[in-house]
């Protein structure tokens, strides 16, 4: 792995005025007594909180101290560090006169890789090859995710990027990233150097406040006396007791640029010198000889001579030709430089592929194919249409897909809701129902194969309408409830704050009895099995079972568990097929039967589950039910057996699964429906191969 250093600059602007201290950010290197594997890491931290809150320095201290002393991977260290800071802040806020709540971005540079962890309102950018990539891609404000200091459970968003010398990492507050276009930010920070970037950001801030940190990747220090930026005066500008400050006489590292960029600069400089000589020679040879006094005398009544009339044209040609030559030479050089880089990257990629063929270790094969894929992808960023790079990337990706049991599906967009929201899905026959929790609205889509009849949905229910003399309140969840057990009717059941509303295709909307219309405060998810309704209550840490009676569920519920379960406080979704499956926000899945824990061991998944968005199964499946997890962080759908064995993972060719919200699986029809990034998709569900 290539080792990179960093040059760091920090910025704190309050109401348009640049401050001399930067209390909201810091750059840190490992203390002597650090957990194994952390000694070469550099940790960058930015707190997104309004004003100069006195608790911010203590919060930074807690987070960075925890990172260095927690063993394990970078991501596990980042999660543990943010958890430690959050737990301290929750305790602090309980007695604080002015509680501190906000977002946080933590980034770790290890070798040439940067790992980013974010909670609540937060934003980071990576500038590479002149392009700027935003993390997270959407919703920098944090959306529905709680900020730091509010709840014990954190929803951490993880990102990863490969850096090269000259690349830049920008951490900034979410408000700045929301009001300033990405294009303006790119112009301000990409390939300009740290100090100019800080000045440009100050101008972009205008009269508003801004907390930002600019980190430029640099080639590892080779000369004696050079130090990593985490221990340099640049990094020490974090201010306050938390910064890892070097001796005052430590040399300031020179800003380093990438090898190819430096070579290009030197070559262009040499070319400029040569072109200057050529230009002078051409000007001297092209311009007319200096006229003598006799030649310049004009007789009375005579105009300028032909020579004098053509002199401006001659000067224009003399100046323009060298400029065109310079442009041509620079263009050719850049094209050749890019071509050379692409050739070198593809040579490395092919070497990795050849090495993978000669090893037996599955882990080593995976590493080599991943390295080949990264090199081919980097070549395509330089030359997007290069057929050789496309072929190498496809070859490496195919090998990784086979090893990771990845199945590529081709989602078809059914509808665009034009905004990212909190959507839920339910289905009956050819009717697909979508609940928009943010808008408290349910719509029905009539399916015609892989399209929508009429191209648009029909309204079903909305907050504020009157149903049987009851005004519908906030809608929490929705489920298709088929007839079964003592329930004699099939319909869509909508859970709202005032109770239950039922939609029947023949008879429309109706309010139905529900436990004295008492809905638990922590109601999160609704499901059904054998005519019973099950409600996941995260505040009560319980699953409530409502038995059908008459035309509704009028009786009080039974607790599914004998005692409340602590893990349900973090639960986000539930699925039932006679067994109850519950998934937590951290991706941990629990299985219960008859109110007791049942064996469930997640096994065989090479990449652990990230932040899940939903859990689903098809209780009407002809064989044993399978579990499907919408993995938001890894843009995939993970297919598991009922005992936790990994079967396969579904991925899309583009960004269709990049922001998963909910999914619905119809194994009989071989279809999977998802909502991702505010868009409704359907994809064919290939038959799963027997492992």
pLDDT of residue 139: 56
Residues 238 and 360 in one domain: no
pLDDT of residue 488: 82
pLDDT of residue 337: 76
Residues 424 and 486 in one domain: yes
Please report whether residue 691 resides in a domain: no
pLDDT of residue 635: 93
**Bridge-based pairing state of the strands 660-666 and 466-467:** unpaired
Range of lowest pLDDT (255-269, 593-607, 638-652, 673-687): 255-269
Number of structural domains in the chain: 3
pLDDT of residue 564: 95
pLDDT at residue 194 tops 90: yes
Q: What is the mean pLDDT of residues 539-553?
A: 93
Residues 269 and 155 in one domain: no
Q: What percent of the chain has pLDDT over 90?
A: 54
pLDDT of residue 420: 82
pLDDT at residue 150 tops 50: yes
Residues 413 and 397 in one domain: no
The two three-digit tokens of residue 26, written as one number: 């810091």
pLDDT digits (tens, 9 = 90+) for 62-104: 999 999 998 888 988 999 999 999 999 988 988 888 889 899 9
Of all helices (H) and strands (E), which one includes residue 375?
A: helix 362-382
Residue 611's closest CA among 630, 638, 639?
A: 630
Phi, psi of 271 (to 5 degrees): -65, -40
pLDDT of residue 622: 61
Residues 375 and 419 in one domain: no
Please report whether residue 254 resides in a domain: no
Whole-angstrom CA distances from 505 to 433, 456, 580 are: 12, 17, 29
pLDDT digits (tens, 9 = 90+) for 214-248: 999 998 753 333 333 333 333 333 333 333 333 33
Residues 478 and 420 in one domain: yes
Give the C-alpha separation, 479 to 474, whole Å.
16
The three-point CA angle 77-81-82 to 5° equals: 120
Please report whether residue 601 resides in a domain: yes
Task: Please report which confidence band the pLDDT of residue 328 belongs to, taking 50, 70 and 90 as the band edges.
Answer: confident
pLDDT digits (tens, 9 = 90+) for 654-671: 889 999 999 999 988 899
pLDDT at residue 537 tops 70: yes
Q: State the chain's mean pLDDT as an integer.
A: 83
Residue 77's closest CA among 89, 87, 64, 86?
A: 64
Which single residue is written with the structure tokens 């390939």?
Answer: 191
Residues 112 and 146 in one domain: yes
pLDDT digits (tens, 9 = 90+) for 331-352: 665 666 788 888 889 998 999 9
pLDDT digits (tens, 9 = 90+) for 356-407: 988 888 888 888 998 999 999 989 988 888 999 999 999 999 999 999 999 9
Range of lowest pLDDT (83-87, 258-262, 620-624): 258-262
CATH number for the domain spanning 416: value is 2.120.10.30
Task: Please report which confidence band the pLDDT of residue 576 belongs to, taking 50, 70 and 90 as the band edges.
Answer: very high
Q: What is the mean pLDDT of residues 414-441?
A: 92
Please report whether residue 293 resides in a domain: no
Please report whether residue 618 resides in a domain: yes
Residues 572 and 431 in one domain: yes
Tell me the residue range of the domain where 43 lies: 4-249
pLDDT of residue 235: 37
Residues 389 and 460 in one domain: no
Please report whether residue 173 resides in a domain: yes
Residues 383 and 421 in one domain: no
pLDDT digits (tens, 9 = 90+) for 494-508: 999 999 999 998 889
pLDDT at residue 320 tops 80: no
Q: What is the mean pLDDT of residues 522-550?
A: 94
Give the C-alpha separation, 533 to 557, whole Å.
9
pLDDT of residue 32: 85
Give the C-alpha separation, 254 to 7, whole Å.
8
The two three-digit tokens of residue 373, written as one number: 């894929």
- The contacts of residue 531 (CB under 8 Å, 6+ apart) are 481, 483, 484, 485, 486, 487, 547, 548
Q: What is the mean pLDDT of residues 435-439?
A: 93
3-state SS, 64-124, equals HHHHHHCCCCHHHHHHHHHHHHHHHHHHHHHHCCCCCCEEEEEEEEECCEEEEEEECCCEE
The two three-digit tokens of residue 39, written as one number: 């000694």
Residues 103 and 192 in one domain: yes
pLDDT of residue 365: 87
The residue out of 364, 381, 404 marking a domain boundary is: 404
In 429-531, which ranges are E strands? Answer: 431-436, 441-446, 458-462, 466-467, 470-471, 475-481, 491-496, 499-504, 508-512, 523-529
Residue 44's closest CA among 175, 214, 180, 183?
A: 214
Please report whether residue 302 resides in a domain: no
The residue out of 404, 431, 450 marking a domain boundary is: 404
CATH number for the domain spanning 226: value is 3.60.40.10
The two three-digit tokens of residue 588, written as one number: 């941990």
Q: What is the mean pLDDT of residues 537-559?
A: 93
Residues 602 and 650 in one domain: yes
With b meaning 16 or more CB within 10 Å and e meaning fewer, what string describes 433-454?
bbbbbebbbbbbbebeeeebee
Radius of gyration of the chain (CA): 31
The residue out of 363, 388, 404 marking a domain boundary is: 404
Please report whether residue 305 resides in a domain: no
């Amino acid at each position: 792995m290539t080792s990179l250093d960093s040059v760091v600059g920090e910025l704190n602007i309050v109401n348009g005025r640049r401050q001399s201290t930067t209390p909201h950010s810091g750059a840190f290197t490992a203390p002597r007594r650090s957990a194994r594997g952390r000694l070469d890491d550099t940790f960058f931290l930015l707190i997104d909180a309004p004003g100069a809150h006195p608790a911010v320095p203590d919060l930074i201290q807690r987070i960075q101290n925890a990172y260095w002393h927690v063993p394990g991977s970078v991501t596990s260290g980042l999660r543990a560090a943010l958890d430690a800071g959050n737990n301290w802040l929750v305790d602090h806020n309980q007695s604080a006169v002015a509680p501190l709540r906000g977002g946080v971005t933590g980034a770790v540079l290890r070798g040439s890789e940067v790992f980013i962890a974010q909670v609540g309102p937060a934003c980071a950018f990576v500038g590479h090859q002149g392009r700027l990539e935003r993390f997270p891609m959407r919703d920098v404000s944090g959306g529905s995710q709680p900020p730091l200091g509010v709840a014990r459970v954190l929803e951490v968003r993880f990102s990863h990027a490969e850096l090269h010398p000259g690349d830049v990492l920008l951490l900034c507050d979410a408000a700045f990233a929301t009001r300033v276009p990405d294009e303006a930010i790119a112009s301000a920070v990409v390939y300009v150097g740290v100090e100019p970037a800080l000045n440009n950001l100050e101008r972009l801030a205008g009269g508003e406040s801004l907390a930002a940190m600019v980190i430029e990747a640099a080639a590892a220090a080779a000369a004696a006396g050079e130090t990593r930026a985490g221990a340099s005066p640049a990094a020490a500008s974090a201010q306050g007791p938390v910064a890892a400050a070097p001796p005052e006489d430590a040399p300031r590292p020179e800003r380093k640029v990438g090898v190819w960029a430096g070579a290009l600069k030197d070559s262009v400089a040499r070319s400029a010198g040569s072109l200057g000589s050529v230009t002078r020679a051409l000007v001297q040879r092209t311009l007319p000889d200096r006229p003598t006094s006799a030649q310049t005398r004009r007789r009375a009544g005579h105009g300028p001579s032909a020579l004098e009339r053509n002199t401006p044209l001659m000067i224009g040609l003399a100046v323009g030709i060298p400029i065109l030559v310079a442009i041509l030479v620079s263009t050719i050089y850049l094209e050749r430089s890019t071509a050379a880089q692409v050739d070198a990257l593809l040579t490395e990629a092919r070497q990795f592929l050849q090495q993978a063929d000669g090893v037996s270790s599955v882990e080593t094969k995976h590493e080599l194919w991943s390295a080949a894929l990264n090199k081919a992808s980097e070549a395509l960023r330089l030359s997007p249409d290069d057929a050789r790079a496309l072929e190498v990337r496809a070859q490496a990706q195919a090998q990784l897909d086979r090893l990771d049991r990845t199945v590529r599906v081709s989602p078809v967009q059914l509808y665009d809701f034009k905004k990212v929201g909190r959507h839920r899905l339910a289905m009956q026959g050819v009717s697909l129902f979508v609940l928009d929790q943010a808008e408290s609205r349910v719509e029905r889509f009539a399916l015609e194969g892989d399209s929508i009849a009429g191209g648009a949905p029909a309204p079903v229910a909305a907050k504020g309408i009157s149903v049987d003399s009851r005004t519908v309140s906030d809608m929490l969840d929705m489920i298709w409830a088929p007839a079964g057990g003592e329930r004699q009717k099939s319909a869509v059941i909508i859970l709202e704050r005032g109770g239950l509303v039922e939609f029947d295709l023949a008879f429309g909307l109706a309010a139905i009895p529900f436990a004295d219309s008492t809905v638990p405060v922590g109601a999160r998810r609704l499901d059904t099995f054998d005519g019973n309704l099950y409600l996941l209550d995260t505040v009560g840490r319980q699953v409530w079972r409502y038995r059908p009676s008459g035309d509704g569920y009028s009786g009080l519920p039974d607790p599914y568990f004998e005692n409340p379960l602590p893990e349900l406080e973090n639960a986000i979704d539930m699925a039932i097929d006679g067994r109850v499956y519950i998934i937590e926000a951290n991706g941990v899945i629990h299985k219960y039967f008859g109110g007791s824990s049942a064996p469930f061991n997640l096994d065989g998944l090479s990449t652990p589950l990230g932040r899940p968005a939903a859990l689903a199964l098809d209780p009407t499946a002809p064989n044993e039910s399978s579990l499907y997890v919408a993995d938001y962080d890894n843009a995939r759908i993970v297919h598991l057996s009922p005992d936790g064995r990994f079967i396969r993972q579904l991925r899309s060719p583009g960004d269709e699964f990049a922001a998963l919200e909910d999914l619905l699986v119809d194994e009989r029809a071989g279809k999977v429906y998802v909502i991702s990034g505010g868009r409704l998709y359907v994809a064919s569900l290939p038959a799963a191969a027997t492992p």
